[in-house]
Amino acid sequence: TVMKNQNKNDLPSMSKPVRVRFAPSPTGPLHIGGVRTALFNYLFAKKNGGTFYLRIEDTDQNRFVPGAEEYIMEALEWLGIAPEETVGKNEKFGPYRQSERKHLYRQYADQLIESGNAYYAFDTAESLDAHRKQHEAEGKTFIYNHHNREKLDTSLVISKEETEKRIANNEDYVIRFKTPVNETLHLQDIIRGEVQFQTGLLDDKVLFKSDGMPTYHLANIVDDHLMETTHVIRGEEWLPSMPLHVMLYRAFGWDAPEFAHLPLILKPIGNGKLSKQGWNDGTEKELFSLDELTAAFDLKRVHKSGAKFDPEKNKWFNHQYLIKQKDELLAKAFAPILIEKGIDISKFDLNRIVSLVKDRAHFVTEFWEMSDFFFVAPTIYDEKARKNWKEETPTLMQELISVIEEITDFTSMNIETIVK
């Protein structure tokens, strides 16, 4: 059997408004790969007059980190790519937190069982471990798939009555997807073109866990459908999940969104994943405003191969944006650093100080070391200057201080003229 998804390009259907999402798990800080994914979704939505929304995928409570959700939202706001819909904001398809949607998922898991696309599996961790060891002893790898599911403790083997009885007795079980046998999936990816998968090589993924929570695969598909997501733009690490997700859409009788799997961001040296650009507008231009990026953005121009993240180049970018920034805004960003050091900022013209140092800085945090002499008197001297220190030098220095204090036109040219 051959299965194809119908999506062949990234031109949005005119009958459906574009809706894309960034759907992180609140398991820690937002990394550079997540920022890139969020940015590309934001740009795609803005380019096509669509909606960019944020969904929090917190079904894995074991990895939940308190405060991570707030951090993610704050980071997107700070980056200037805030979602139009999210937790507590324009909740058109709410809730936007998966843990608050868990009452929705069970009915869809049951629907798959009734249609023959999923089944109950009662295998214990011990029995599965025994199967793995047996396969290893025979030089094989145990995969929970069509080769094994008829031999395991599942509702495909035991009677319906026995299945219902065991469920009624609160016996632990999971619900697994019944992967079709001997199908070739010809799937279209906006970035990669046609991608083929053989279903016979895929395992039967768990859709619903024994703790009553859905896995990522089920919750993700149900939410994307109910929230009317038209395009799924995500990292390359999710490409192996694409066949399952497309088959789930088919099993439910739903239209699948279009998929675009972004290349990984790699370390500067070697092939290791940095965190999981791959895009340019076809010119040599490197610096863009957000509006310029939106106008130029095209998913078809995203490269398939991973791109290396160069921290030094990143510092260069930051320097370029820094020197173009208004002094007042930089002074405002610098002020908290000074206050933390006990400096009374009302005594200083921060705008002028910032204008003197920003051309040499990569980050606002570097302003202090470049300008500390404006705020605090030196406590040490340069040993090399000792040979120039004469008996009359202190007197001359005091006179110089008096002269400088009386200067009203405090410019470098005027100071130089007076001192000479």
In a domain, 139, yes or no: no
Same domain? 331 vs 357:
yes
In a domain, 311, yes or no: no
Reading the block at residue 399, the tokens are: 């006179």
Distance CA 398, CA 395 (A): 5
In a domain, 254, yes or no: no
Residue 198 host element (H or E): strand 193-198
Q: What are phi and psi of 95, to 5 degrees?
A: -70, 160
With CA atoms as reference, report the closest residue to 195 among 145, 238, 255, 147: 238
Catalytic sites, residue numbers: 276
Whole-structure pTM value: 0.82
Residue 349's domain spans which residues? 325-380
Distance CA 12, CA 231 (A): 8
In a domain, 276, yes or no: no
With CA atoms as reference, report the closest residue to 335 among 322, 319, 311, 353: 353
- The sign of the dihedral angle between the CA atoms of 105, 106, 108, 112 is positive
Distance CA 122, CA 113 (A): 14
Residue 293: Cβ within 10 Å count: 17
Domain count, the chain: 2
Residues in the chain: 420
Distance CA 230, CA 248 (A): 16
Same domain? 339 vs 372:
yes
In a domain, 358, yes or no: yes
Same domain? 374 vs 394:
no
In a domain, 53, yes or no: no
In a domain, 68, yes or no: no
Per-residue pLDDT of the chain (420 residues), as tens digits, is: 555 665 444 444 446 899 999 999 999 888 888 999 999 999 999 999 999 999 999 877 788 889 999 999 999 999 999 999 999 999 999 999 998 998 899 999 999 999 999 999 999 999 999 999 999 999 999 999 999 999 999 999 999 999 999 999 999 999 999 999 989 999 999 999 999 999 999 999 999 999 888 999 999 999 999 999 999 999 999 999 999 999 999 999 999 999 999 998 877 765 555 444 455 556 667 788 889 889 989 988 888 877 778 888 889 999 999 999 999 999 999 999 999 999 999 999 999 999 999 999 999 999 999 999 999 988 887 888 878 888 888 898 898 888 888 888 888 888 888 877
